């Protein structure tokens, strides 16, 4: 029995969060997010932007045939 059809499509991301340079963000952090399969990369310094990148990649990938 092949159960992989019933599972939702999974994505792999690498998220690195570190101290930002002076003036990059009020909280002083910066993140790099890489979508592993495509290599798409984004740099953010706000949690909302981090979430937006993850969701935009997931939405784009949902449009692809299985």
* pLDDT tens per residue, range 5-61: 555 678 899 999 988 765 555 568 899 999 998 898 999 999 999 999 989 988 887
Give CA–CA dist 56/47, Å, rounded.
14
- pLDDT over 90 percentage in the chain: 35
Cα separation values, 26 from 30, 35, 37, 62, Å: 10, 26, 32, 34
In this prediction the pTM is 0.66
């Amino acid at each position: 029995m092949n159960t992989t059809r019933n599972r939702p499509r999974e994505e792999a991301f690498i998220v690195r969060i570190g101290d930002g340079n002076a003036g990059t963000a009020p909280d002083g952090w910066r993140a790099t997010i890489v979508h592993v399969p495509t290599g798409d990369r984004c740099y953010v310094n706000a949690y909302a932007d981090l979430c937006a990148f993850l969701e935009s990649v997931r939405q784009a990938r949902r449009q692809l045939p299985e």
